[in-house]
C-alpha cells in the first residue's frame, strides 16, 4: 500500500510539472489519504498527508485558510503515530492560520484545538491540554448548543487533564455536564446510556462516593435487563461496577467515612490498619461476589464467548477474594483469568502487580488536614518486592526530602499494602524493584 501511495503522488507531480495545481489533483490525493487513514494505515497515510499540504500550499500560498484542514489532518496522522512534537507543530500552524483568517467563533477551530489538546494530554502537558480542550468545548457549545452530543469526545480528555492537575472540582463539573448531555441526547432509559452511566459511576468510585456510584450502576443494570433480558451480557459492566463499589467501600470506608479521594484511582484503594488480616470493621457485602458470578454466568452463556471480558471479570473476582483475605482462592481465580485472557491474547492485566489496598499515612497529600497556605510538599520514594501472594517485602527507601518520622510512616503504610501479584505463564511470581512514591504535606518551617 505504501508504494502505491508514493507512486500515486509521484505520478500526480510528474504528470504536469509546469502547470498549476488543480482542485482535482488535491481531491485525488485527499481521497487516498482518507482511504489509508480510515484503514488505520497511518505510516502509509503520512506521506500522502504531507503531499496534500504541499499541493494546497502551492495552490493557495503558505498562509491561506485552505491550509488549515490539511495541516490538521497531518497533525492527526503524527498524533496517531505517537510523534507528539510533530503533531503539535502542525496543529499550531493550523491554528495560527485560522487566527489570522477567521473569526474566533469559526467552526474550523474545533478540530485543531481538539487535536492539540489531545496531543498535549498524551505528552503529559496537562495544563496546556486543559486550556486547548476548554477552548474547544466552549466553542462547541457556542456553535451547536449547550447539550450537543459531539462535545463528549472533547470532554473526556479535558476531565482526565483536570484529574492529572488535581483540579477535582473542575473534573466533577465536567463529569456532571457530560452526563446531562448524554441524558439530553439519548433519554434517561435508552441503552446508549449504559456507557455514560458507567463512566459517571466510576468517577464517584474515584472520589469515594460508593453509594452514589452503586446507584448509577444499578440504574444501568435495570436498563440492560429491560433491553436484553435478565442475564444479558449488556448488564456485565453494571454487575462488575456494583461488586467493585462494595469492595472499595469495605477497603476505604463508607461515603460518610471517606475524608478525601483515593491517592491515584479507584483501583488504587486504601484501607484501615489490618483490614485484610481479618481484624477490620465488618465484612465484604456478599452481594458483590454474587454480582460477579452473575456477570460470569451471563458471559459464559453468550455466543461467541468474549474471553477478554470473561478474563477481566475473573480478575475482579480474584481482587474480591484477595481483599477478603482468601489468598489461595484469589490465586486460583487469577489462574483461571489468565487462561481466559490468554485465549484473547490480552494477558497484560496480570503481567504486572496492581495496587489493591493502601492507606496513606496521615501526612500524605491525600489525607492531610493542613491548608495549602500552611504546608509545603515533601516526598518519600521506596522500592520493594511484591510477592507471589500479593504482599510487600524487602522495603527500602530510595529517595526522600521528608523528616525521618514521615519516612517511617510511609514504610509502615507500604508494608500493610496489598497487590494483585504478577503472573508469568499462568502462575504468580515475585516482582522485585517495584517503586512507589508518596507525596507528603509538612507544616512550613518544621
| Confidence band, pLDDT 50/70/90 cuts, at residue 6 | low
State residue 253's pLDDT score: 81
Tell the residue number behind the cell numbers 446531562, with chain if given: 180
d(CA 412, CA 27): 65
Q: Which of 186, 184, 165 is nearest to 176 (CA)?
A: 184
- Average of per-residue pLDDT values in the chain: 90
Task: Give the contacts of 208 (CB within 8 A, at least 6 positions apart).
Answer: 248, 252, 253, 255, 258, 260, 261, 262
Once rounded to an integer, what is the mean pLDDT over residues 107-133? Answer: 97
d(CA 193, CA 189): 7
Question: Between 4 and 434, whose confidence is greater?
Answer: 434
User: Could you say which DSSP state residue 438 is in?
Assistant: E
pLDDT at 273 over 50: no
User: Could you say which DSSP state residue 102 is in?
Assistant: S
Which set of grid coordinates corresponds to residue 317?
Answer: 473476582
State residue 410's pLDDT score: 96
Which set of grid coordinates corresponds to residue 226?
Answer: 429491560
d(CA 80, CA 158): 19
CB of 117 within 8 A of CB of 158? yes
Q: What is the pLDDT of residues 405-421, one digit of tens each?
A: 999 999 999 999 999 99
Q: Which of 327, 292, 341 is nearest to 313 (CA)?
A: 292
State residue 254's pLDDT score: 76
Residue 265, SS3 per DSSP: coil
For the ranges 56-60, 70-74, 133-137, 261-265, which has the lowest average pLDDT?
261-265
pLDDT at 13 over 60: no
Query: Within the chain, which residue ranges are assigned CATH 3.30.1150.10?
Result: 375-443
Rg, C-alpha atoms of the chain = 26
CATH H-level, domain 190-350: superfamily: Tetratricopeptide repeat domain (1.25.40.10)
- Entry pTM: 0.81
Please provide the distance, in angstroms rounded to a whole number, between the alpha carbons at the two ends of the chain: 65
Q: Phi and psi for 231 in degrees, rounded to 5?
A: 85, 10
| Confidence band, pLDDT 50/70/90 cuts, at residue 2 | very low
CATH architecture for residues 375-443: 2-Layer Sandwich (3.30)
State residue 366's pLDDT score: 82
Q: Phi and psi for 399 in degrees, rounded to 5?
A: -165, 145
Query: Within the chain, which residue ranges are assigned CATH 1.25.40.10?
Result: 190-350
Long-range contacts of 53-59 (CB under 8 A, 24+ apart): 55/21, 55/25, 55/26, 55/29, 56/21, 56/26, 58/20, 58/21, 59/20, 59/21, 59/22, 59/23, 59/26
CB of 114 within 8 A of CB of 133? yes
Q: What is the pLDDT of residues 132-160, one digit of tens each?
A: 999 999 999 999 999 999 999 999 999 99
Once rounded to an integer, what is the mean pLDDT over residues 305-321? Answer: 97
State residue 282's pLDDT score: 54
State residue 276's pLDDT score: 38
d(CA 446, CA 3): 67
Q: What is the pLDDT of residues 205-253, one digit of tens each?
A: 999 999 999 999 999 999 999 999 999 999 999 999 999 999 999 988 8
Amino acid at each position: 500500500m505504501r508504494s502505491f501511495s508514493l507512486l500515486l503522488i509521484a505520478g500526480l507531480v510528474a504528470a504536469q510539472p509546469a502547470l498549476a495545481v488543480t482542485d482535482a489533483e488535491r481531491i485525488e490525493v485527499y481521497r487516498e489519504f482518507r482511504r489509508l487513514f480510515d484503514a488505520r494505515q497511518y505510516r502509509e497515510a503520512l506521506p500522502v498527508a504531507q503531499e496534500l499540504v504541499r499541493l494546497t500550499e502551492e495552490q493557495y500560498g503558505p498562509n491561506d485558510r485552505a491550509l488549515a484542514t490539511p495541516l490538521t489532518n497531518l497533525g492527526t496522522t503524527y498524533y496517531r503515530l505517537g510523534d507528539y512534537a510533530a503533531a503539535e507543530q502542525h496543529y499550531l500552524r493550523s491554528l495560527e492560520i485560522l487566527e489570522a483568517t477567521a473569526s474566533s467563533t469559526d467552526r474550523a477551530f474545533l478540530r485543531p484545538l481538539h487535536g492539540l489538546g489531545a496531543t498535549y494530554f498524551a505528552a503529559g502537558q496537562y495544563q496546556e491540554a486543559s486550556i486547548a480542550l476548554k477552548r474547544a468545548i466552549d466553542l462547541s457549545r457556542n456553535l451547536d448548543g449547550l447539550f450537543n452530543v459531539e462535545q463528549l469526545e472533547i470532554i473526556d480528555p479535558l476531565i482526565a487533564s483536570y484529574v492529572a492537575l488535581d483540579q477535582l472540582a473542575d473534573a466533577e463539573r465536567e463529569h456532571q455536564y457530560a452526563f446531562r448531555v448524554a441524558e439530553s441526547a439519548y433519554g434517561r432509559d435508552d441503552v446508549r446510556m449504559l456507557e455514560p452511566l458507567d463512566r459517571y459511576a466510576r468517577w464517584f468510585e474515584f472520589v469515594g462516593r460508593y453509594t452514589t456510584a452503586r446507584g448509577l450502576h444499578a440504574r444501568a443494570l435495570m436498563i440492560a435487563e429491560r433491553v436484553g433480558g435478565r442475564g444479558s451480557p449488556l448488564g456485565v459492566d453494571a454487575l462488575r461496577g456494583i461488586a467493585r463499589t462494595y469492595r472499595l467501600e469495605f477497603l476505604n470506608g463508607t461515603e460518610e467515612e471517606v475524608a478525601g479521594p483515593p491517592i491515584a484511582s479507584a483501583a488504587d484503594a486504601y484501607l484501615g490498619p489490618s483490614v485484610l488480616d481479618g481484624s477490620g470493621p465488618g465484612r465484604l457485602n456478599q452481594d458483590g461476589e454474587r454480582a460477579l458470578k452473575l456477570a460470569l454466568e451471563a458471559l459464559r452463556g453468550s455466543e461467541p464467548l468474549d474471553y477478554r471480558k470473561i478474563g477481566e471479570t475473573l480478575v475482579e473476582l480474584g481482587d474480591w477474594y484477595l481483599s477478603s483475605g482468601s489468598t489461595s482462592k484469589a490465586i486460583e481465580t487469577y489462574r483461571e483469568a489468565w487462561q481466559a485472557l490468554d485465549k484473547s491474547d490480552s494477558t497484560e492485566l496480570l503481567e504486572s502487580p496492581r495496587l489493591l489496598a493502601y492507606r496513606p499515612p496521615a501526612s500524605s497529600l491525600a489525607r492531610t488536614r493542613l491548608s495549602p497556605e500552611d504546608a509545603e510538599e515533601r516526598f518519600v520514594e521506596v522500592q520493594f518486592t511484591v510477592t507471589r501472594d500479593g504482599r510487600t517485602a524487602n522495603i527500602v527507601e530510595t529517595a526522600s526530602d521528608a523528616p525521618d518520622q514521615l519516612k517511617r510512616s510511609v514504610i509502615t503504610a507500604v508494608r500493610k499494602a496489598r497487590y494483585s501479584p504478577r503472573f508469568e505463564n499462568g502462575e504468580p511470581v515475585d516482582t522485585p524493584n517495584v517503586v512507589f512514591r508518596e507525596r507528603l504535606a509538612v507544616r512550613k518551617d518544621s
